[in-house]
Amino acid sequence: MITSKIIANGILKAIGTLILIALLVYFLYQIQNVLIYIVVSLLLTLIGIPVLEFFKKRLKFKHTMATVVVMSIYILLMLGFIMMFIPLIISQGQNLSLLNTAEIEKNSLELIKQINTFLEQHHIDSATFFDIKNFKSVINFNIIPNFLNSILGTISNFGMALGSVLFITFFFLKDKTIFLNGAKLLIPDTHEEKVLNSLDKINQLLSRYFIGLLFQLFIVFILYTIVLSIFGIPDVFVIAFLCAVLNIIPYLGPLIASILAALLTMLSHLGSDFQSEILPTTIYVLIGFWIVQVIDNNLSQPIIFSKSVSSHPLEIFLVIVIAGFSFGILGMIIAVPLYTIIKVISKEFFPDNKFIQLITKNI
């Protein structure tokens, strides 16, 4: 028989549980930066493990020495990326007068006027696309200094974040066995074997996935660099790098990269004739970028992704699209790794399910 005391205890227990959940969520929110550092470190660890094993098995390095070499590679790559951006900051500060909003407004209005003239010459109502009278009222150029200040603030925090990530990654690589043994203590004995098998398989597949992703981005970076170099776009390596990084976002990223490349191409030719130089060059760059995407979407991306996570290309496409509709851009980015984790765990814990057997037959 349910008494008032039992009901009261149940209510108090439910309230206590909600309070604990709220406190946990608040605590996680307060340490969100630390959680981001840990997640980034885990990704670097997954990428670094195969390299670490190569140095240990092939070159006979000791574990600590192999870890130091892997971390040195990471540091050199990061320094290379930082050094690559320094010329962009200097040249853009000098040539485009980033802090001179009046100059930016003047250049932008000049570009809009040239576009309007081109449209009118071809009997197209320019007001359909650009209304120069309202352009200044719609766009507030004074937000640019604020935007730059936010970038400077981000850069100032980047050093601490980078140091924290590298520090955590070093110990993830160096003491991975200690962390694994610690995790065993938290796993119930009845599920220990299944959990450990899942972790081992997830580690293998995600390591292959992230290495494949880096290889795919490198291929796109090289192709973008070739396209931009052909048409003489300045800061070619930085622009190609930024556009390649956007490819981390499946399907949507390449579209954003094409728009970014088109805008930077037009800005790099300010002062030139729109019809004879700016427009043709922009169109050629867009065509080049679209050719790169055709190559990437039909050759490198399906082969690399499907092979790395042992999934059919159509399967990956559907997972990414569903995740995109459900959770937006973040969902598209994490869709493949998360789906891979779910597949591995499902196969280990529900091996007799026919549907799971079907989707995990290659794992």
pLDDT digits 0-9 by tens, 7-59:
777 788 888 888 999 898 888 888 877 888 888 888 888 888 888 888 888 88
| Residue 268 included in any domain | yes
Average confidence score pLDDT of the chain: 76
| Residue 231 included in any domain | yes
- Cβ-contact 251, 227 below 8 angstroms: no
Annotate 151-198 with DSSP letters as a single string: HHHHHHHHHHHHHHHHHHHHHHHHTHHHHHHHHHHHS-GGGHHHHHHH
Residue 297 burial by Cβ neighbours in a 10 Å radius (0-12, 13-18, 19+):
middle
pLDDT on residue 143: 54
| Residue 174 included in any domain | no
Report d(CA 108, CA 110) in Å as an integer.
5
Report d(CA 46, CA 169) in Å as an integer.
10
| Residue 145 included in any domain | no
Share of the chain above pLDDT 70, in %: 76
| Residue 100 included in any domain | no
Number of domains present in the structure of the chain: 2
Nearest to 246 by CA among 272, 268, 216: 216
Cα torsion 339, 343, 349, 350 to 10°: value is 120
CA distances from 257 to 46, 242, 250, 266, 331 (A): 27, 8, 12, 14, 19
| Residue 193 included in any domain | yes
Report d(CA 225, CA 241) in Å as an integer.
8
pTM > 0.85: yes or no: no
- Which tokens hold the place of 242? 């930024």
Instruction: Give pLDDT tens digits for 105-146.
Output: 666 667 677 777 777 776 666 655 555 555 555 555 555 555
Question: What range does the domain containing 14 cover?
Answer: 1-30
| Residue 256 included in any domain | yes
Q: Out of 116-120, 168-172, 195-199, 313-317, pick the least confident.
A: 116-120
Q: Out of 79-83, 216-220, 261-265, pick the least confident.
A: 79-83
pLDDT on residue 264: 80
CA distances from 304 to 28, 43, 136, 139, 339 (A): 35, 18, 46, 42, 16
The residues near 109 (Cβ < 8 Å, ≥ 6 apart) are 132, 135, 136
